Amino acid sequence: MEYGPTLHKSYLVARVREALAEDPRLNELDIQVTVAAGKVFLLGEVASQERRRQAAIVAAEVLPEGIGLVNNLHVARYTESSDVEELR
Partner 1 sequence: MIRIAAAGDLHVGLDSVGCYSPLLAHLHERADVLLLAGDLTQHGSIDEFHVLAKELAGLHTPVAAVFGNHDYHQGHETRNREILESVGVRVLEGEYMVLRMGEERLGVAGIKGFCGGYAGACGAEFGEPEMKSFIRTTKEDAESLRIALDAISGCDVRVALTHYSPIKGTLVGEKLEIYPFLGSYLLAEAIDGAKADLALHGHSHKGTDQGVTPGGVPVRNVAMPVIRTGYQLFSFGSAPSPSVESMGESTG
Count of residues touching partner 1 (by CB under 8 A)? 20
User: What burial class does residue 16 get, using C-beta atoms within 10 Å of its C-beta: 0-12 exposed, 13-18 middle, 19+ buried?
Assistant: buried
Q: Among candidates 76, 74, 77, 67, which has minimal Cα distance to 34?
A: 67
Nearest distance from residue 33's CB to partner 1, in Å?
12
Q: Among residues 26 and 40, whose Cβ is nearest to partner 1?
A: 26
48: alpha, beta or left? (left if phi > 0; alpha if psi -120 to 50): beta
Instruction: Tell the smallest beta-carbon distance from residue 38 to partner 1 (Å).
Output: 24
Binding mask 12-51 for partner 1 (x = CB under 8 A): ------------x--x--x--------------x-xx-xx
Residues making contact with partner 1 (CB under 8 A): 24, 27, 30, 45, 47-48, 50-51, 76, 78-88
